[in-house]
Amino acid sequence: MKTIRTTRAIRRETKAARASGHPVVLVPTMGCLHGGHLSLIRRARQLAGANGTVVVSLFVNKTQFEPSEDFASYPRSLRRDTALCREAGADLLFAPSDAAIYADGHSTFVVESRLAKRMEGASRPTHFRGVTTVVAKLFNLVQPGAAVFGAKDWQQAAVIRQMTVDLDFPIRIVVAPTVRERDGLAMSSRNAYLSPAEREQATVLHEVIGTARLAVKSATAPLPAAALRRRLMRLVDKQRLAKLDYIEFFDPKTLEPAKRVARGTHLALAVFFGSTRLIDNGRL
């Protein structure tokens, strides 16, 4: 596996990889890799095949952090990440500096203006603008045939898919399942911020999805979203250290809010533990 630091070198390497005629598959990450990322890299390996090229990008993208968020303290671990990428089957690790991606005077952003507005977008107004900007730049630099994203960031995947269609990127967007800890907590780099007591209570996100699933399964007709939300909110409220940001029910493809909840409706939620904000989602 080669580590690449400059945009010129990643262009050169991926151009040569494409010229070989074998697939090039990109896995964009912000590093601090965990089992969830490794499953994305393994999925990319499958898609690329033995002769294709798996490119993992590792870049803590400042434009997707709100001013009040943890950009400065976001965990960075290049040495460990390099070893993990190699083990998981990456061929190229693209780890550019901030200046390589955002040169002085950078003033162009890519904005998806419909799907990006609700849920995460409502709580973090500039977040998706940063995500779509950096992902569009990575798509231009690497020009992969496919890119793999995690289902844990369901809305992010939908926003990126829309951007890919709208901007005519000839790239297949592949969404790989969420990887969970044994107790159901979705793997996330931010789980490392949790105190032991917060970590214990953080399973409530998974519990909310499970409870909603059960409610839908045992109902004989679609359930009113408002009543189900109130019931689920009580579960979060019971956890002393948890503070709910949102619980939303929506169509998994269009992200349109659902007034009635039935099988196939999607649920997403965000919960604060102190300043750590965790998200999760699932199909009901």
User: Which stretches of the chain bind ligand PAF, using CB under 6 A?
Assistant: 28-30, 61, 64, 131, 134-135, 153, 156
Distance in Å, CB of 32 to ligand PAF, minimum? 9
- Residues 121 and 127: beta-carbon distance below 8 Å: yes
Q: Identify which of residues 102 and 210 has a Cβ nearer to ligand PAF in the complex.
A: 102
Distance in Å, CB of 138 to ligand PAF, minimum? 8
* Annotation marks residue 37 as catalytic: yes
Which of 22, 34, 37, 206 is flagged as catalytic? 37
Distance spanning both ends of the chain, measured CA to CA:
40
Q: Identify which of residues 124 and 206 has a Cβ nearer to ligand PAF in the complex.
A: 124
- Residues 47 and 83: beta-carbon distance below 8 Å: no
Q: In terms of C-beta density within 10 A (0-12 exposed, 13-18 middle, 19 or more buried), how is residue 61 classed? A: buried
Distance in Å, CB of 130 to ligand PAF, minimum? 7
Q: Identify which of residues 154 and 250 has a Cβ nearer to ligand PAF in the complex.
A: 154
Distance in Å, CB of 190 to ligand PAF, minimum? 11
Distance in Å, CB of 24 to ligand PAF, minimum? 17
User: What dihedral angle (degrees, nearest 10) is formed by the CA atoms of 10, 11, 13, 17?
Assistant: 130
Q: Identify which of residues 14 and 29 has a Cβ nearer to ligand PAF in the complex.
A: 29
- Residues 18 and 146: beta-carbon distance below 8 Å: no
Q: Identify which of residues 33 and 258 has a Cβ nearer to ligand PAF in the complex.
A: 33
Give the residue numbers annotated as catalytic, written as ranges.
Answer: 37
